[in-house]
Structure 1
Amino acid sequence: MPVRPELHWFKSSYSGGSGTECVECARVGDGTLVRDSKTPDGPEVSIRGHAWQSFVWALGGQSLDR
């Protein structure tokens, strides 16, 4: 099994401050991994770069039509 390099996880700025809705992200190659910070050994969702960029733009109220 290939060894995965250490990832730099960061908490999303959109996570709530109560400590119950924390999402962490890590950049990898041409994309991003997303996980629940309460279960760091749990599943991760892999999102391709273009889809992640569209998601972030939509959160910021930007138009997805370019």
Structure 2
Amino acid sequence: MAEKKWLLDFQGVQIARHEHILFEQLDLQVAAGEFVYLTGPVGSGKSTLLKTISAEVPLTKGKAN
């Protein structure tokens, strides 16, 4: 089986906004052709995660490739 090419690869990522940690130790990998569906209550960090993926919000910890 061929190794997947990750379009998004988060390893041990922490994302915080205004001193509030939204994600801690997040591991997320998305390959070409995959679809991801984000759901959750208001204020849970969905938009902040998307802004982090697009580099509008910096990571507090971890590695993104």
TM-score, L = length of structure 2: 0.32
More helix by share: 1
* Higher RCO structure (Cα 8 Å, ≥6 apart): 2
Bigger Cα Rg:
1
TM-score, L = length of structure 1: 0.32
More strand by share: 2
